[in-house]
Chains A and B, each alone.
Chain A
Amino acid sequence: MDHLVMEIGLAIGLVALAGILSAKLKFSVIPFYIIVGMLVGPHAFKIGHFDFRFVESAELIHFFGRIGVLFLLLYLGLEFSVGRLIKSGKSIVVGGSIYIGINFTLGLLYGFLTGLPLSEVLIIAGITTISSSAIVAKVLVDLKRTANQETEMILGIIMFEDVFLALYISIVSGLVLSSSSSLGGVLLSALIALVFMLGVLIVGRKLVPQLNRWLDIRSNELFLLIVFGSLFLIAGFAETIHVAEAIGALLVGLVLAETQHAHRIEKLILPFRDFFGAMFFFSFGLTIDPTALGGAVWMALGAVAITLVGNFAAGMLAGRSAGIPPYASAKIGLTIVARGEFSIIMANLAMAGGLAAIIQPFAALYVLILAILGPLLTKESKWVFRVLDPIFKFNARYDRRQQQAPETSS
């Protein structure tokens, strides 16, 4: 008997339920999607026609998740603009570099500390470095902090992280997905990846006037079909040459962002990104057996501790370099600790490359903790700062600096 539609319906229903629950509790929705996926799955049960093991549909749900990644990265590419990054100013570049410098180094060190091989170390460093733009943006809007001065720095750092993410995934995917094990083979596949990416970007840039003309289509249906067609073809082609399909999607987004139709594409893509994005978190949860989480608890907790310290320090330093007062600087670090979609994409990359199985439960726990803790710390930043300030004397030192250089303050 074929109960595929029923099972998919059940899955979407559960995801919707998780969404309702998170809205009721006023919590970030991402951990709810993951938890609901973890609770069901092969280890669950079957009541009558309601099969919570998702045996028949597992493959399809994972495919939904894969599509979710494509849309997330396509959207990221569409929103990104080199011009904006350049215009964002020196303080953002300095702040972003401080953030990546501190946290990526800490991630690498922590990875080596776990004693896993190099590929796994690189994945762990990726998981722990990149914040969740989705959670951060949502929390800032929900808490009505969009007007604050530190928000510019937070979003600037996030934008900086996006660039880092794109470069990093392409390097690591060459390393992890490459079928050969010799150094020469790895280098060759990395080279192919690089040529492919530059090729798409350069050809895409040259084709912008033609793309403008070709995409000048009134019918939304035809327009969408062409965009989806190129998205899946290029992402799929990327996979065949061992470049993560996510990078293929990102490249399509970057090229389309230069056309006049970027806005229309964004608008039409948004519902697809939201739907398949939710399925992506659910399908990730589905791959996690909650009984296997125990083995990764200490590893995840250690990484959480390092991320909290590293992000807070980076926030204080970035804020200081931009002349932002201590309390506002503290909010930078406390806001960007949220982890989500990009950490999971890194973990999925590890799974696709057949790396150590511990990465999956580690990433799940790590993301769950920080996806919940991040928004909480952001909300309670005043309280956190009140506890930390007497120990580190941020305010006293800031005032002293202000007195020494009274002219530079605003």
Chain B
Amino acid sequence: MDIRETYLPGIGKKFQIKSRGGDVLIVVVHDDGRRECYMEADRDNDFKPVFSLDDDEARMLASIVGGMQYKPRALENIEMVLDDLIIEWYRVEPTYKSVGSSIGQLGVRNRSGASVLAVVEKGGATKHINPGPDLVLTEEALLIVAGERSQQKAFRDILKNGCE
């Protein structure tokens, strides 16, 4: 992926993004907070405007594109592989049996070997970085968990099935 930044005096900043697939996308961040997205057209045409968003809308879109909103359902989608270590995001669905149990009660470390790096409670209001064993999992909380692939798998089972 190739990103080129250009300063547009009096307007803002332009990011030209060329994806591995060959698509050229241009995002213009206006000084007044607006974002405009353009796609490449042929030589004699202007770049084609695709959408225009206000600042808050753009942040929302970024979180959707970035996978913060939906990703946990497709559990293996977002992962950063550092050799064997994988960091994954999980969302605690209301149907999960682990809701209401603390990390210590679930025995996360002993049973799976994975480690909970952070917990963001529903709505993002409360964040626990490096939570202790007393932290109780709530519905729709986001968990960021580090571990090897097999440990992640074990952790997912614990999350779904609780203390069984």
Candidate in B6, B10, B11, B49 with the most chain A CB atoms within 10 angstroms: B10
Question: How would residues 56 to 82 of chain A score, 1 for a CB under 8 Å from any chain B CB and 0 otherwise?
Answer: 000000000000000000000001000
Provide the residues of chain B in CB contact with A137, threshold 8 Å.
10-11
**Given A141-B30, A325-B43, A325-B44, A146 contacting B10 (CB threshold 8 A):** no
Q: Is the CB of B36 within 8 A of A155?
A: no
Smallest beta-carbon distance B49→chain A, Å: 4
Indicate whether A144 reaches chain B with its CB closer than 8 angstroms: yes
Question: How would residues 10 to 21 of chain B score, 1 for a CB under 8 Å from any chain A CB and 0 otherwise?
Answer: 111010000000
Provide the residues of chain B in CB contact with A158, threshold 8 Å.
9-10
Q: Which 8 A-B pairs have the closest CB atoms?
A: A147-B38, A147-B26, A147-B47, A137-B10, A144-B49, A146-B28, A327-B44, A159-B9
Q: Is the CB of A151 within 8 A of B43?
A: no
Provide the residues of chain A in CB contact with B7, threshold 8 Å.
84, 87-88
Smallest beta-carbon distance B26→chain A, Å: 4
Smallest beta-carbon distance A394→chain B, Å: 11
Smallest beta-carbon distance B39→chain A, Å: 9
Q: Is the CB of A147 within 8 A of B14?
A: yes
Q: Out of B8, B12, B46, which one reaches A144, CB within 8 Å?
A: B46
Q: Out of A141, A145, A155, A327, which one reaches B9, CB within 8 Å?
A: A155
Known pairs A79-B9, A84-B7; list 4 more (Cβ under 8 Å). A144-B38, A146-B12, A147-B36, A325-B44
Q: Is the CB of A147 within 8 A of B9?
A: no
**Residues 139-176 of A contacting B (Cβ, < 8 Å):** 140-141, 143-148, 151-152, 155-156, 158-159
Number of interface residues of B (CB under 8 A): 18
Q: Is the interface of B mostly helix, strand, loop or mixed?
A: strand
Which B-chain residue is minimally distant from A144 (CB atoms)?
B49
Provide the residues of chain B in CB contact with A144, threshold 8 Å.
36, 38, 46, 49
- A148–B94 Cα gap in the complex (Å)? 48
Provide the residues of chain B in CB contact with A156, threshold 8 Å.
9
Which B-chain residue is minimally distant from A143 (CB atoms)?
B46
Indicate whether A133 reaches chain B with its CB closer than 8 angstroms: yes
Question: How would residues 28 to 44 of chain B score, 1 for a CB under 8 Å from any chain A CB and 0 otherwise?
Answer: 10100000101000011
Smallest beta-carbon distance B36→chain A, Å: 7
Provide the residues of chain B in CB contact with A327, threshold 8 Å.
43-44
Provide the residues of chain A in CB contact with B36, threshold 8 Å.
144, 146-147
Q: Is the CB of B46 within 8 A of A145?
A: yes
Q: Is the CB of A146 within 8 A of B11?
A: yes
Q: Is the CB of B9 within 8 A of A84?
A: yes
**Residues 102-153 of A contacting B (Cβ, < 8 Å):** 133, 137, 140-141, 143-148, 151-152
Which A-chain residue is minimally distant from B8 (CB atoms)?
A155
Sort chain A's interface into a size bin. 20 to 34
- A147–B11 Cα gap in the complex (Å)? 11
Which B-chain residue is minimally distant from A162 (CB atoms)?
B9
Provide the residues of chain A in CB contact with B11, threshold 8 Å.
137, 140-141, 146, 155
Question: What are 14 A-to-B residue pairs whose CB atoms are below 8 Å?
Answer: A79-B10, A84-B7, A84-B9, A137-B11, A144-B49, A145-B47, A146-B11, A147-B38, A148-B47, A151-B8, A152-B8, A155-B11, A159-B9, A325-B43
Q: Is the interface of A mostly helix, strand, loop or mixed?
A: helix
**Residues 66-90 of B contacting A (Cβ, < 8 Å):** none
Question: How would residues 320 to 336 of chain A score, 1 for a CB under 8 Å from any chain B CB and 0 otherwise?
Answer: 00000101000000000
Candidate in A87, A140, A155, A325 with the most chain B CB atoms within 10 angstroms: A155
Provide the residues of chain B in CB contact with A140, threshold 8 Å.
11
- A36–B49 Cα gap in the complex (Å)? 35
Q: Out of B6, B12, B44, B49, which one reaches A152, CB within 8 Å?
A: B6
Smallest beta-carbon distance B154→chain A, Å: 48
Provide the residues of chain B in CB contact with A88, threshold 8 Å.
7
**Residues 226-255 of A contacting B (Cβ, < 8 Å):** none
Provide the residues of chain B in CB contact with A87, threshold 8 Å.
7
Which A-chain residue is minimally distant from B49 (CB atoms)?
A144
Provide the residues of chain B in CB contact with A152, threshold 8 Å.
6, 8, 14
Provide the residues of chain A in CB contact with B44, threshold 8 Å.
325, 327
Smallest beta-carbon distance A164→chain B, Å: 14
Provide the residues of chain A in CB contact with B43, threshold 8 Å.
325, 327
- A143–B8 Cα gap in the complex (Å)? 16
- A140–B44 Cα gap in the complex (Å)? 17
Which A-chain residue is minimally distant from B37 (CB atoms)?
A147
**Residues 184-201 of A contacting B (Cβ, < 8 Å):** none
- A143–B9 Cα gap in the complex (Å)? 17
- A144–B9 Cα gap in the complex (Å)? 16
- A144–B34 Cα gap in the complex (Å)? 12
Provide the residues of chain A in CB contact with B6, threshold 8 Å.
152
Provide the residues of chain A in CB contact with B14, threshold 8 Å.
146-147, 152
Q: Is the CB of A155 within 8 A of B10?
A: yes
- A151–B46 Cα gap in the complex (Å)? 10
Smallest beta-carbon distance A253→chain B, Å: 14
- A88–B9 Cα gap in the complex (Å)? 10
- A143–B49 Cα gap in the complex (Å)? 10
Smallest beta-carbon distance B103→chain A, Å: 42
- A152–B7 Cα gap in the complex (Å)? 8
